[in-house]
Amino acid sequence: MLKFIIPLILFIILAVFLALGLNLKPSEIPSPFINKPAPVFSAPKLNEPEEKLTPADLKGKVWLFNVWASWCVSCRAEHPVLNQLAQQNAVFIVGLNYKDEPNDAKNWLDMLGNPYNVSIMDQDGRIGIDYGVYGVPETFVIDKKGLIRHKHTGPVTAEDVQQTFLPLIARLQAEP
Amino acid sequence: MKRLLFIFLLIMSSSVYAVDFRQLSDPEQQETYETLTKELRCLVCQNQTIADSNAELAADLRRQVYEMLQQGKSKQEIIQFMTDRYGDFVLYKPPFKGKTSVLWIAPVVFLLMGLITVFFFIRRKKAAANQQTKAGALETDIEKQKKIRSLLGKGDPS
C-alpha cells in the first residue's frame, strides 16, 4: 500500500508546484512601493518645459501616474483605454514621458489624443529608476496623502480599468 | 587547421559583454563597481546581470551605480537603494529572510532527501544480494559442474 501512496503524494506535490508555476508571471515583479509615499521628483512639464511639477502639487488628489513613451509599442495599445478613462473624469492622470524626445512625444499625443491632465519629462530615466520602472508602460495609483496604493505593469486593458482601477479609485476618492 | 581556427573563434565569440566605458579612479571603487554590476539583475532581460546586458535600463542602472560610487556611497547603500526601488528580485543573491527561506533551504533539503533515498536503496540492494548469493551458491555450483563436464566432453552424468 505504502508503495503506491508515496509516489502518489510526490506526484501531487509536484503537480501543485507545476500548476502554480504555470500561473506565475515572472515579468510581474512585486513592487516594494505599495503603501509607501510616492518618490519625490521635480520635473519639467512636456508642454511647458519652464514649469515644473512635483508630487506635493498633487496632495489631496487621487492621481494615476502612467509611464509612457512614443517609442513604446504597448503604450500605443494601451492608449485608447486611457483616452476613454480620461473622458470619464474619474481621476487626475499624470503622464511620465520616459526616455523620449519631447517632439516625438508631442506628435504622438497630437496624433492619438491626449488623456493626460499633465505630462512630465524624464529624458534620462532617473525618475523611472526612482519609481522602480523596468518596463513601459507602467501605471501607479496614488492616493490623496501621496501614498502609492497600486502598481500595474504592462498595458492597462479596459477590463483592468473596470475591475481594478475604477473600484480602487472610487474607494480612494472616498477616503479623507 | 582552418576548421580548428574557425571553431576556436566561434567558442571565443560567445563571451562578449556589454560595452562599458566607465572607469573609476579608485581601484577599490572600480572593484566594487564590477562586483555590483554582476550582482544586480537587469529587470527587463531577467536572466542577465546589468553588467551583461545592453538593455537601456541596464545602462541606466550602471550609470546609477557609477554615480553613487563617485559620491562615495558604500556597496551596502547602493544595494539598499536598488532593493528599495526594485525589491529583492534585483539581487542575484537574495538575502536570507522569511520570504526567501524556502529558496535557500530547499536545495539542501532536496540533497538530503536524495542522499537518504540512495542510502536506503543501496542498503536494501546489498541485503537482497547477500541473501541471494547464500541461497544461490549451491545451485550455481551444480550448474558449473554440469558445464565443466559438458565442456570436457564427458557428457551428462545423469
Torsions phi, psi for B136 (to 5 deg): -85, -10
Same domain, residue pair B50 and B105: no
Task: Using alpha carbons only, give the angle A90, A158, A39 rounded to the nearest 5 degrees.
Answer: 60
Same domain, residue pair B90 and B17: yes
Q: Is A79 on the interface with B (CB under 8 A)?
A: no
Please report whether residue B86 resides in a domain. yes
Q: Is B46 on the interface with A (CB under 8 A)?
A: yes
Task: Give the residue numbers spanning the domain of B23.
Answer: 2-95
Task: Using alpha carbons only, give the angle A83, A88, A89 rounded to the nearest 5 degrees.
Answer: 100
Q: Is the pLDDT of residue B17 over 60?
A: no
Same domain, residue pair B120 and B50: no
CATH number of A39-174: 3.40.30.10
Three cell numbers at B10? 566561434
**Secondary structure letter of residue A163 according to DSSP:** I
Please report whether residue B157 resides in a domain. no
Check if the beta carbon of residue A127 is closer than 8 Å to that of residue A52.
no
pLDDT in tens, B100-150: 788 889 999 999 999 999 999 999 998 888 877 766 666 677 788 888 888
Closest CA to B57 of A152, A132, A32, A100: A132
Same domain, residue pair B35 and B102: no
| pTM for the predicted model, two decimal places | 0.74
Same domain, residue pair B16 and B54: yes
Same domain, residue pair B44 and B70: yes
- Nearest CB neighbour to B86, from listed A26, A126, A132: A132
Same domain, residue pair B50 and B102: no
pLDDT in tens, A43-83: 999 999 999 999 999 999 999 999 999 999 999 999 999 99
3-state helix, strand, coil in chain B (%, to 5): 70, 5, 30
Torsions phi, psi for B74 (to 5 deg): -85, 165
Q: Is A99 on the interface with B (CB under 8 A)?
A: yes
Check if the beta carbon of residue A118 is closer than 8 Å to that of residue A80.
no
Check if the beta carbon of residue A66 is closer than 8 Å to that of residue A74.
no
Domain boundaries, chain A: 39-174
Number of structural domains found in chain B:
2
Amino acid, res. A94:
V
Please report whether residue B146 resides in a domain. yes
pLDDT in tens, B125-135: 988 888 777 66
Q: Is B119 on the interface with A (CB under 8 A)?
A: no
Strand bridging mode A138-142 / A43-44: unpaired
Q: What whole-number distance in Å separates Cα of residue A21 and Cα of residue A11?
A: 15
Same domain, residue pair B82 and B124: no
CA distance A155 to chain B (A): 15
Q: Examine the fold and report which residue of B95, B118, B141 is the final residue of a domain before the chain moves on.
A: B95
CA distances from B46 to A135, B54, B58, B72, B111 (A): 11, 12, 11, 28, 27
Same domain, residue pair B70 and B124: no
CB contact under 8 A, B43 and A130: no
Same domain, residue pair B135 and B107: yes
Closest CA to A127 of A96, A153, A161, A100: A96
Provide the pLDDT for residue B135: 65
CA distance A2 to chain B (A): 15
Check if the beta carbon of residue A159 is closer than 8 Å to that of residue A167.
no
Q: How much is the ipTM here? A: 0.79
